[in-house]
């Protein structure tokens, strides 16, 4: 392997590690946000961008210290996610990667900035349910983008993309992605009507005034539709003898959906105890990430091959 190819190989590994860090941090900040909610710390910092009026950091006596520290810590994580996004963008640009990867990196950075603004709006709206929902759903979109970036980085920029899945499989995959979006939206409605307002003193003010149990049933039905569509994708993958990588991704996704279903059922019958919420939110990010990766498997370039690159260089030298 030539020194140039070795450098390319190391660069690809580094890009993918950074993309994985971005993906984990995007998912992680949604979990920290859920911890803010279930501990009632959403207004621990009651203004934005400052934590307290006239102070960027927590102020003794303004709010309980634990609430201030939890909310302020969640805000600080935004800088960690932003740093990861910038690092990925710099890495792919420095390596001269294709425009698609650069676009994902740029969208991640823009999305983080937009999310920070939406978070500030939700604070100024005293955590009304719809403002909190608007804060959560873009996070899932950013997890999707980060997962696509992670899946696409190993692909060879010099190779043309091709359809790996057949037309029916692609349609089922698209329908599953749409069903997932509906699952997430109905999930925010269940949360918006539920017992965890996000602030210890807010009570049910600003909550969604609909029956939580009915919304939970609607949410579950949407989840079953999403699971069924994912199983149809898996069936089609075997029917058309798709690559093993795609089938493995689909199997993992099915298992993850079942785990998420079990957590949701436990929440329903246990009355949504606080400790279950971060687990449910974390699994939401995992489900979104694997759905995005499965989607990416359906239309892809061949993975970068160091030996093939070396052969091309020998032919042109």
pLDDT at residue 4 is higher than 70: no
Provide the angle, in degrees to the nearest 10, between the axes of the packed helices 276-297 and 129-152. 40
Question: pLDDT (tens digit, 9 = 90+) per residue, 5-48?
Answer: 666 668 889 999 999 999 999 999 999 988 888 887 777 888 88
Does residue 262 surpass a pLDDT of 90? Answer: yes
User: What per-residue confidence (pLDDT) applies to 188?
Assistant: 87
Are 234 and 250 within 8 A, CB to CB? yes
The string of pLDDT tens digits covering residues 210-225 is: 778 888 899 999 999 9
* Paired strand residues for 270: none
pLDDT over threshold 60, residue 294: yes
In the chain, how long is the greatest CA-to-CA distance?
Answer: 72
Q: What is the pLDDT of residue 132?
A: 78
Q: Residue 179 has which token pair?
A: 């069903």
Return d(Cα 234, Cα 183) in angstroms, integer. 20
Read off the pLDDT of residues 62-117 as tens digits, 9 standing for 90 and up: 788 888 898 888 889 999 999 999 999 999 999 999 999 999 999 999 999 999 88
As separate numbers, helices (DSSP H) first and strands (DSSP E) second, the chain gives 9, 2
What 3-state class would DSSP assign to 273? coil
E strands present in the chain: 162-163, 299-300
| pLDDT over 60 at 235, yes or no | yes
Range of weakest confidence among 43-52, 78-87, 144-153, 183-192? 43-52
Region of poorest pLDDT, from 29-33, 199-203, 300-304: 199-203
Q: DSSP per residue over the chain, as a string?
A: --HHHHHHHHHHHHHHHHHHHHHHHHHHHHHHHHHHHHTTBTTSS-SSSSSBTTBSS--TTTS-HHHHHHHHHHHHHHHHHHHHHHHHHHHHHHTT--HHHHHHHHHHHHHHHHHHHHHHHHHHTTT-HHHHHHHHHHHHHHHHHHHHHHHHTTB-TTSPPEE-S-HHHHHHHHHHHHHHHHHHHHHHHHHHHSS--SBTTTTTTT---S-HHHHHHHHHHHHHHHHHHHHHHHHHHHHTT--HHHHHHHHHHHHHHHHHHHHHHHHHHHT--TTHHHHHHHHHHHHHHHHHHHHHHTEEPPBP-HHHHHHHHHHH-
* Average pLDDT value for the chain: 86
pLDDT, residue 206, reads 54
For 123-224, strand residue ranges (E) read 162-163
Rounded to whole angstroms, the Cα distance separating 137 from 19 reads 21
pLDDT number for residue 48:
82
Q: What 3-state class would DSSP assign to 245? A: helix
**What is the CB-side half-sphere exposure of residue 138 using CA atoms within 13 A?**
18
């Amino acid at each position: 392997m030539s020194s140039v190819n070795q450098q390319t190989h190391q660069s690809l590994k580094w890009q993918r590690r950074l993309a994985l860090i971005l993906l984990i941090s995007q998912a992680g900040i949604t979990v920290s946000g859920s911890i803010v909610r279930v501990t009632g710390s959403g207004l621990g910092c009651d203004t934005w961008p400052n934590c307290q009026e006239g102070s960027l950091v927590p102020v003794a006596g303004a709010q309980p210290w634990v609430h201030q520290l939890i909310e302020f810590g969640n805000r600080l994580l935004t800088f960690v996610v932003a740093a990861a996004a910038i690092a990925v963008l710099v890495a792919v640009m420095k390596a001269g990667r294709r425009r698609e990867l650069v676009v994902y990196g740029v969208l991640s950075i823009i999305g983080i900035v937009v999310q920070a603004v939406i978070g500030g709006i939700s604070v100024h709206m005293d955590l009304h349910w719809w403002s909190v929902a608007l804060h959560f759903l873009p996070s899932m979109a950013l997890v999707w983008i980060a997962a696509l970036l992670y899946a696409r980085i190993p692909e060879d920029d010099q190779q043309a993309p091709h359809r790996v899945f057949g037309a029916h499989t692609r349609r089922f995959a698209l329908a599953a992605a749409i069903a997932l979006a509906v699952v997430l939206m109905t999930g925010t409605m269940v949360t918006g009507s539920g017992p965890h307002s996000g602030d210890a003193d807010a009570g049910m003010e600003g909550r969604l005034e609909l029956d939580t149990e009915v919304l939970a049933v609607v949410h579950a039905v949407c989840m079953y539709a999403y699971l069924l569509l994912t199983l149809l994708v898996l069936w089609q993958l075997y029917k058309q003898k798709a690559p093993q990588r795609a089938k493995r991704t689909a199997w993992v996704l099915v298992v993850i959906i079942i785990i998420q279903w079990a957590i949701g059922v436990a929440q329903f019958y246990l009355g949504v105890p606080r400790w279950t919420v971060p687990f449910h939110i974390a699994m939401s990010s995992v489900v979104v990430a694997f759905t995005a990766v499965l989607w990416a498997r359906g239309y892809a370039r061949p993975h970068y091959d160091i030996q093939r690159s070396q052969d091309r260089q020998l032919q042109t030298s």
